Amino acid sequence: MKAKRYATEFKSSIVDLYNEGRSANSLANEYHLAVQTVTGWVKKPKSLGLT
């Protein structure tokens, strides 16, 4: 299965929402993402090009 690609802006907005207090689980449910995807973006901001 091919990995789905997300725009850097989208990833950044998800990380921002997480940093504002939203849970990874609620974000995953709302945006139809895997919880592991959200937590990966939060833990590795360099991979998003956010540094």
pLDDT tens across 22-47, in order? 999 999 999 999 999 999 999 986 65
Interhelix angle for 8-19 vs 35-43, to 10°?
A: 90
Calculate the alpha carbon distances from 33 to 27, 39, 44, 50, 51 in Å.
8, 10, 16, 20, 23
pTM of the model: 0.80
| pLDDT (0 to 100) of residue 31 | 97
pLDDT tens across 5-24, in order? 899 999 999 999 999 999 99
